[in-house]
Amino acid sequence: MLIDIVSVAPELLDSPFAHSIMKRAHDKGLLQVRTHNLRNWAINKHGQVDDYQYGGGAGMVMLCEPLANMIEHLQKEHTYDEIIYMTPDGPTFNQSMANQLSLKNNLLIICGHYKGIDQRIRDHYITCEISIGDYVLSGGELAAAVVVDAIGRIIPGVLNDETSALTDSFQDNLLAPPVYTRPADFKGWKVPDILLQGDPKKVEAWRLEQSMERTKTRRPDLLKKWD
């Protein structure tokens, strides 16, 4: 999979993809993440990519011309399955969206800044809009990193144990059950006996019960999808 990310501050994305699972995905040749500086398509020698908004008001708006030129330039190199705009007013990102996007071949992600991008770019180029929550960040770079991480880790072959991703929270609209490791007794706090008995069917039933209970307590909204 190829993911291109366009930003006015691409250096913010240097670290998230250079370590851990994302680095492993790159080293295995399963995921290539490229960052592009929008200022390379600026309208003048000063690197301008934004201007005041029509109608007045505080905050700058990212210009049409640099964004359109950048998108069309990259489209000459690759055909994108989705052109994604990271924006607080987009649909909220979830595991289902991550699963769907992980099946794509090429993605282009646009990181917003300031008051956002000119609406005409959204109308004519963007095919998918994503928010990672009901709050506003300084820019879309951190949000893009979250989306890429969620997508990249579930690409087949990235995780050493692919079944691990299938048991994550939200994969089946349930939160993951509690997990334990050694020692079995720590400061008198003991691991549940059922996990030590070696009966896979009983363990599976216990985990489902725990997932249901945890979801009911912490995220009852998710259980509506089971109705």
Q: What is the rounded end-to-end Cα distance, in angstroms, of the chain?
A: 35
Separation CA 60–CA 203 (nearest Å): 55
Q: Could you give the domains of the chain?
A: 2-152 (3.40.1280.10), 167-226 (1.10.1270.20)
The one-character DSSP state at 117 is: B
Each residue of 109-123: b (16+ CB within 10 Å) or e?
bbbbbbebbbeebbe
pLDDT at position 215 over 80: yes
pLDDT at position 25 over 90: yes
The one-character DSSP state at 102 is: T
Confidence of residue 173 (pLDDT cuts 50, 70, 90): confident
How far, in Å, are 15, 39, 79, 110, 167 from residue 70 at the CA level? 24, 10, 14, 10, 39
Residue 155 corresponds to which tokens in the numbers above?
């690409």
**Bridge partner list, 109:** 5, 84
pLDDT of residue 165: 63
| Per-chain mean pLDDT for the chain | 94
- Read off the pTM: 0.89
Question: What integer is the mean pLDDT of 189-207?
Answer: 96
Separation CA 18–CA 15 (nearest Å): 5
Confidence of residue 3 (pLDDT cuts 50, 70, 90): very high
Task: Detail the DSSP E strand segments found in the chain.
Answer: 2-7, 32-37, 50-52, 60-62, 82-86, 106-111, 128-130, 185-186, 189-190
Q: Which residue, among 45, 90, 38, has the nearest Cα to 67 in the 3D structure?
A: 38
pLDDT of residue 172: 80
Residues 114-139 pLDDT 10s: 999 999 999 999 999 999 999 999 99
Q: What percent of the chain has pLDDT over 90?
A: 89
